[in-house]
Structure 1
Amino acid sequence: MSTGESTIRNEPMQIDDITVIDKAKVKKAVTAAALGNAMEWFDFGVYGFVAYALGKVFFPEASPSVQTIAALATFSVPFLVRPLGGVFFGVMGDKFGRQKVLSATIILMAISTFCIGLIPSYESIGILAPILLLLCKLAQGFSVGGEYTGAAVFVAEFAPDRRRGFLSSWLDFGSIIGFVSGAGVVVLLSSIVGEAQFLEWGWRVPFFLAAPLGLIGLYLRHAAEETPAFTEQLERMEKEDQDAVGSAPRISFKEIVSKYWRSLLVCVGIVLVTNVTYYMLLTYMPTYLSHNLHYSEDHGVLIIIVVMVGMLFVQPFVGMASDRIGRRPFIAAGSLGLLVAAIPAFHLITSGNTGWIFVGLLLLAVLLNCLIGVMASTLPAMFPTRVRYSALASAFNISVIIAGVTPTLAAWLVETTGDLMMPAYYLMVVAAIGLITAYFMHETANKPMRGDTPNAGSRREARELLQEQYDHIEASVDGLDVEINDMQDKLADLERRKQALIDRHPDLV
Structure 2
Amino acid sequence: MPKDAPPRVSGTPDSPSTPAARKTRRSPLRRRRLEVDDVNVVDKSMMKKAVGGTVVGNTMEWFDVGVYGYLAVTMGAVFLSDADKDAQLLFSLGVFAATFIARPLGGVVFGRLGDRMGRQKTLAITLIMMAGSTFVIGLLPSYGTIGIWAPILLVLMKLLQGFSTGGEYAGATTFVTEYASDKRRGFLASILDLGSYLGFALGAAVVSVMQLLLSDADMVDWGWRIPFLVAGPMGAVAIYFRLKIEESPAFQATLDAQEAGAKGGDETESLGTMGIFRAYWRPIVLAMVLVAAANTVGYALTSYMPSYLTDSKGYDPVHGTMLTIPVLVLMALCIPLTGKLSDRIGRRPVLWMGAGSTIVLAVPSFWLIDQGPVATTLLGLALLAIPVTFYVSNLASALPALFPTASRYGAMGISYNFAVAIFGGTAPLIMQGLITLTDNDMMPAYWLMFTSVAGAIAVGVMKESANRPMPGSMPSVDTHAEARELVAGQDENPRLDVDSLPFDTLGSQQAPSAAEPADNRAEPGVSR
Query: Alpha-carbon deviation of 1:472?
Result: 4.5
Residue 261 of structure 2 contacts residue 268 of structure 2 at CA under 8 Å; is this kept in 1? no
Task: Tell me whether 1:95 sits opposite 2:116 in the alignment.
Answer: yes
Of residues 319, 331, 338, the one that matches 1:318 is 338
Which amino acid in the other structure matches residue 223 of structure 2? G
Residue 2 of structure 1 contacts residue 233 of structure 1 at CA under 8 Å; is this kept in 2? no
Query: Alpha-carbon deviation of 1:345?
Result: 0.9
Aligned residue number for residue 283 of structure 1? 303
**Mapped partners of 1:303, 1:89: distance in 2:** 36
Of residues 215, 233, 237, the one that matches 1:216 is 237
Task: Tell me whether 1:179 sits opposite 2:187 in the alignment.
Answer: no
**Mapped partners of 1:149, 1:468: distance in 2:** 34
Aligned residue number for residue 279 of structure 2? 259
Matched residue of 2:184: which SS? helix
Matched residue of 1:469: which SS? coil
Of residues 466, 469, 472, the one that matches 2:487 is 466
Q: Deviations over 1:332-360 (max 9, x none)?
A: 11112212221221111121111111011
Query: Alpha-carbon deviation of 1:366?
Result: 1.3
Aligned residue number for residue 236 of structure 1? 257
Of residues 56, 76, 94, the one that matches 2:97 is 76
Query: Alpha-carbon deviation of 1:405?
Result: 1.8
Pairwise CA RMSD of aligned residues?
2.4
Which amino acid in the other structure matches residue 466 of structure 2? A
Q: Which moved more, 1:188-197 or 1:50-59?
A: 50-59
**Mapped partners of 2:306, 2:438: distance in 1:** 20
Matched residue of 1:31: which SS? helix
**Mapped partners of 2:392, 2:490: distance in 1:** 29
Aligned residue number for residue 361 of structure 1? 381
Query: Alpha-carbon deviation of 1:123?
Result: 3.7
**Mapped partners of 2:324, 2:207: distance in 1:** 12
Task: Tell me whether 1:4 sits opposite 2:12 in the alignment.
Answer: yes
Residue 91 of structure 1 contacts residue 249 of structure 1 at CA under 8 Å; is this kept in 2? no
Which amino acid in the other structure matches residue 279 of structure 1? Y
Which amino acid in the other structure matches residue 223 of structure 1? K
**Mapped partners of 2:76, 2:97: distance in 1:** 14
**Mapped partners of 1:60, 1:344: distance in 2:** 41
Aligned residue number for residue 347 of structure 2? 327
Query: Alpha-carbon deviation of 1:410?
Result: 3.0
Matched residue of 1:209: which SS? helix
**Mapped partners of 2:496, 2:168: distance in 1:** 40
Q: Percent of counterpart pairs with the same letter?
A: 43
Task: Tell me whether 1:398 sits opposite 2:406 in the alignment.
Answer: no
**Mapped partners of 2:93, 2:441: distance in 1:** 18
What does residue range 413-492 of structure 1 map to in structure 2 within 5 Å? 413-415=434-436, 417-472=438-493
Query: Alpha-carbon deviation of 1:103?
Result: 0.7
Query: Alpha-carbon deviation of 1:200?
Result: 2.3
**Mapped partners of 1:474, 1:343: distance in 2:** 39
What does residue range 243-254 of structure 1 map to in structure 2 within 5 Å? 249-254=269-274
Matched residue of 1:161: which SS? coil
**Mapped partners of 1:85, 1:103: distance in 2:** 14
Query: Alpha-carbon deviation of 1:412?
Result: 3.9
Aligned residue number for residue 495 of structure 1? none
Task: Tell me whether 1:205 sits opposite 2:226 in the alignment.
Answer: yes
**Mapped partners of 1:363, 1:412: distance in 2:** 23
**Mapped partners of 2:229, 2:498: distance in 1:** 61
Structure 1 segments of 4+ aligned residues over 6 angstroms from their partners: 473-478
Residue 229 of structure 1 contacts residue 385 of structure 1 at CA under 8 Å; is this kept in 2? yes
Task: Tell me whether 1:128 sits opposite 2:149 in the alignment.
Answer: yes
Of residues 409, 419, 432, the one that matches 1:411 is 432
Residue 456 of structure 1 contacts residue 462 of structure 1 at CA under 8 Å; is this kept in 2? yes
Aligned residue number for residue 336 of structure 1? 356
Task: Tell me whether 1:227 sits opposite 2:235 in the alignment.
Answer: no
Query: Alpha-carbon deviation of 1:66?
Result: 5.0
Of residues 137, 154, 160, the one that matches 2:158 is 137
**Mapped partners of 2:330, 2:480: distance in 1:** 37
**Mapped partners of 2:288, 2:495: distance in 1:** 35
Of residues 399, 405, 411, the one that matches 1:379 is 399
Query: Alpha-carbon deviation of 1:203?
Result: 1.3
**Mapped partners of 1:474, 1:137: distance in 2:** 44
Aligned residue number for residue 502 of structure 1? none
Query: Alpha-carbon deviation of 1:112?
Result: 1.2
What does residue range 144-155 of structure 1 map to in structure 2 within 5 Å? 144-155=165-176
Aligned residue number for residue 191 of structure 2? 170
Residues 266 and 324 of structure 1, relative CA distance in 2, 3 Å threshold:
same
Which amino acid in the other structure matches residue 478 of structure 2? G
Residue 346 of structure 2 contacts residue 465 of structure 2 at CA under 8 Å; is this kept in 1? yes
**Mapped partners of 1:41, 1:233: distance in 2:** 31
Residue 276 of structure 2 contacts residue 410 of structure 2 at CA under 8 Å; is this kept in 1? no
TM-score (norm 1): 0.88
**Mapped partners of 2:373, 2:434: distance in 1:** 24
Residue 64 of structure 2 contacts residue 203 of structure 2 at CA under 8 Å; is this kept in 1? yes
Matched residue of 2:34: which SS? coil
Q: Which moved more, 1:256-265 or 1:77-86?
A: 256-265
Can you give the 5+ residue segments of structure 2 that lack an aligned partner in the other structure? 1-8, 25-31, 500-528
Residues 474 and 304 of structure 1, relative CA distance in 2, 3 Å threshold:
closer
Residues 41 and 422 of structure 1, relative CA distance in 2, 3 Å threshold:
same
Query: Alpha-carbon deviation of 1:243?
Result: 9.1
Query: Alpha-carbon deviation of 1:226?
Result: 1.0
**Mapped partners of 1:307, 1:407: distance in 2:** 19
**Mapped partners of 1:203, 1:250: distance in 2:** 45
**Mapped partners of 2:365, 2:497: distance in 1:** 47
Greater Rg, structure 1 or structure 2? 1
Q: Which has the higher helix share?
A: 1
Residue 180 of structure 1 contacts residue 308 of structure 1 at CA under 8 Å; is this kept in 2? yes
Which amino acid in the other structure matches residue 181 of structure 1? L
Residues 120 and 232 of structure 1, relative CA distance in 2, 3 Å threshold:
same
Which amino acid in the other structure matches residue 238 of structure 2? G
Matched residue of 1:81: which SS? helix
Q: Deviations over 1:19-54 (max 9, x none)?
A: 001111111111111122112221233111111222
Residue 238 of structure 1 contacts residue 244 of structure 1 at CA under 8 Å; is this kept in 2? no
